[in-house]
Amino acid sequence: MTELIAEGLVLEAGTVASSGGRPTTLIEPNPAGAYLLGADVGERGVAMELFDLSMTRIDIEFRGGHSGEPIEVIGRDLDDALNALRARNPGAWEKMVGLGLGLPGIVETAVSGEQMLYAQSQGWPAIAVTDLVSHDLPIFAENGAKTQAMAEMWNGEARGVAEALVVLMGRGVGLGIVSDGQLAHGSRSSAGEWGHVRIVHGGRLCRCGKHGCVEAYLGADSIFTAWREAGGVFEGSGWRAVGDLLTAADADDPIAVSVVDELVAILGSSLGSLVNLTNPDRVIIGGWVGLRLMETLAPRIEAAIRAEALDRPGAQFALSASKFGGDTVALGAAILPLNAVLNQPRATHLTA
């Protein structure tokens, strides 16, 4: 603790009487003691956020467009976002710890510490994480569903929860598995690739190249494709379009009702199986698609999961929406450099 105080990372915040002996000193984070960056990286661009040491968001920068981008363009998005944030916040760079990336794919860490991204569903080649950013600052990376889970474990719906499933539903579908209070990684970091569990033999084509994956039914583009092929007429392929689907279903549009019914049924079946496998205390649904669905369909989703699970584990979980909304992946990514500070608080972590 004395090292943290010496580094200016925490402050003494008074004392309280102890049961015997000297009073206990209270400490709290020094918000201006260090700064952290977290980025939510998707196939269409990036959302990069700047946090102080209390994990309060200071600034945010978006880069990208309305269609998929090759990995080279994603790299330029990251550099451009960094340039914009640094220009607006020059003082923060004097105490910058590093950048955490929440990435769409498998992030493997070698014994040497080198990290590689394998994003098969995006059609990107395997790439070293450090090659994504040209700036000279420490880079940390993890799968986006796992960084979402990290944020929920830090101060969200999974805080203090021993067993949890943290679901990410966006254009891709992912999962963070909390087991015995720890985030599961597997032998090579690919634990939680729930989106590519095959649920229908010979089913719909998935972006990964296989058929019948969860993502081929629950990913945003798959939902919109099913709606359009059934005869639905709508605009866009984002947050508003999901809302239009739900509004149409509420208005008893038969096509929208059919699409939503299938969506709830598949989500219930897929998560019900995971409940049987992992016996969670809590199931948390996030991602922009998941949050939109939870706004109006939470009771139906919960009932579908319980109906598909075995009676006993199906009665032992609570369902909730991600606490931090659209910021969750970036917030969790910023926890990666924060952990570096907490685990090894030395001035060498701070970059000028």
**Dihedral Cα 262, 265, 270, 276, nearest 10 deg:** -170
Mean pLDDT, rounded, for 314-322: 98
pLDDT of residue 296: 96
Residue range 175-195, pLDDT digits in tens = 999 999 999 999 999 999 999
Residue 80 in this model has a pLDDT that exceeds 90: yes
Question: Nearest-CA neighbor of 165 among 44, 318, 11?
Answer: 318
Q: By mean pLDDT, which of 9-13, 164-168, 212-216 is the weakest? A: 9-13
Helices 239-250, 287-308: crossing angle, 10 deg rounding: 40
Tokens of 190: 């690919």
Tokens of 97: 């710890």
How far apart (Å, rounded) are the C-alpha atoms in residues 54 and 52? 5
How far apart (Å, rounded) are the C-alpha atoms in residues 171 and 44? 10
Mean pLDDT, rounded, for 129-147: 96
pLDDT of residue 346: 46
Question: Nearest-CA neighbor of 283 among 313, 325, 327?
Answer: 313
User: Which pTM was predicted?
Assistant: 0.91
Q: In sequence order, what DSSP letters do the residues of 152-208 get, joined into one string? A: HHHHSTTTT-SSEEEEEESSSEEEEEEETTEE---SSS-TT-GGG-B-STT-SBPTT
What share of the chain in percent tops pLDDT 70? 89
pLDDT of residue 326: 86
Residue 25 in this model has a pLDDT that exceeds 60: no
Measured over the CA atoms of residue 142, residue 146, residue 150 and residue 156, the dihedral's sign is: positive
CA angle 53, 61, 172 (to 5 degrees): 95
Tokens of 237: 């392929």
Helix (H) or strand (E) segment spanning residue 128: strand 127-128
How far apart (Å, rounded) are the C-alpha atoms in residues 290 and 218? 9
What's phi and psi for 256, nearest 5 deg? -65, -40
Residue range 283-304, pLDDT digits in tens = 999 999 999 999 999 999 999 9
Helices 220-229, 287-308: crossing angle, 10 deg rounding: 80
How far apart (Å, rounded) are the C-alpha atoms in residues 38 and 309? 36
Residue 20 in this model has a pLDDT that exceeds 90: no
**Average pLDDT over the chain, rounded to an integer:** 92
pLDDT band at 348 (very low <50, low <70, confident <90, very high): very low
pLDDT of residue 352: 40
Mean pLDDT, rounded, for 310-323: 98
Do the beta carbons of residue 318 and residue 161 sit within 8 Å? no
Residue 263: helix, strand or coil by DSSP? helix
Question: Nearest-CA neighbor of 42 among 289, 320, 223?
Answer: 289
pLDDT band at 311 (very low <50, low <70, confident <90, very high): very high
Residue 349 in this model has a pLDDT that exceeds 70: no
Tokens of 68: 């998929």
How far apart (Å, rounded) are the C-alpha atoms in residues 346 and 257? 57
- The position carrying tokens 């200071």 is 58
Which residues, at least 6 apart from 164, have a Cβ–Cβ distance to it below 8 Å? 149, 152, 153, 157, 158, 177, 178, 280, 281, 282, 283, 284
Mean pLDDT, rounded, for 109-124: 95
Q: How many helices (H) and strands (E) does the chain have?
A: 11, 15
Half-sphere exposure of 308 (CA within 13 A, CB side): 19
Q: By mean pLDDT, which of 1-5, 45-49, 104-108 is the weakest? A: 1-5
Which is more confident, 210 or 344? 210
